[in-house]
C-alpha cells in the first residue's frame, strides 16, 4: 500500500526550475504544486514512474516561464512512500 508524504520548500523564482529538477531527479515524487506568496496555486503536475526526458520538457518550459514572472514561491511535493509494502 502506498502512502504519501508532503514537503514544502520556499524558493525565489530564479531558483524554481533548479529546485524542481532536483526534486524530479530524486525519483519518488508523485505530484508537484507551485504556489505564489499568497498561497494561490499557480501550477500543479503529477509525475508517474518512468516519465523522463522529452515528456518533461514542456512541463519544465512552463516552470521556466512561471519562474521568470514570479518572485517568492512555495513548492509542495507529494512523495511516494512504499515502505509499508515490506512485510516483517
For 1, the 3-state DSSP assignment is coil
Q: How far is CA 43 from CA 21, 34, 84, in A?
A: 15, 5, 30
How far apart are alpha carbons 83 and 33 in whole angstroms? 24
Residue 87 pLDDT class (50, 70, 90 cuts): very low
pLDDT digits (tens, 9 = 90+) for 5-26: 899 999 988 889 899 888 888 8
- Alpha-carbon gap, residue 24 to 31, rounded angstroms: 10
Name the least confident of 21-25, 56-60, 72-76, 82-86.
Answer: 82-86
Q: Domain 3-81, CATH 3.20.20.70 — does that match? A: no
Dihedral angle sign, alpha carbons of residues 43, 72, 47, 60: positive
Looking up cell 523522463 gives 52
Q: What is the pTM of this model?
A: 0.74
Q: What average pLDDT does range 64-85 have in this prediction?
A: 79
Q: How far apart, in whole angstroms, are the C-alpha atoms of residue 3 and residue 81?
A: 5
State the average pLDDT over residues 63-79: 87
pLDDT tens digits, one per residue of 30-69: 899 999 989 999 999 887 655 565 567 777 888 888 888 8
- pLDDT given for residue 3 in this prediction: 59
SS (H, E, C) 63-79: HHHHHHHCCEEEEEEEE
Amino acid at each position: 500500500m502506498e502512502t504519501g508524504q508532503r514537503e514544502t520548500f520556499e524558493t525565489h523564482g530564479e531558483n524554481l526550475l533548479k529546485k524542481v529538477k532536483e526534486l524530479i531527479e530524486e525519483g519518488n515524487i508523485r505530484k508537484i504544486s507551485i504556489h505564489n506568496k499568497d498561497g494561490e496555486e499557480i501550477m500543479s503536475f503529477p509525475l508517474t514512474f518512468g516519465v523522463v526526458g522529452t515528456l518533461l520538457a514542456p512541463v519544465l518550459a512552463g516552470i521556466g516561464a512561471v519562474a521568470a514572472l514570479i518572485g517568492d514561491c512555495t513548492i509542495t511535493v507529494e512523495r511516494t512512500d512504499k515502505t509499508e509494502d515490506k512485510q516483517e
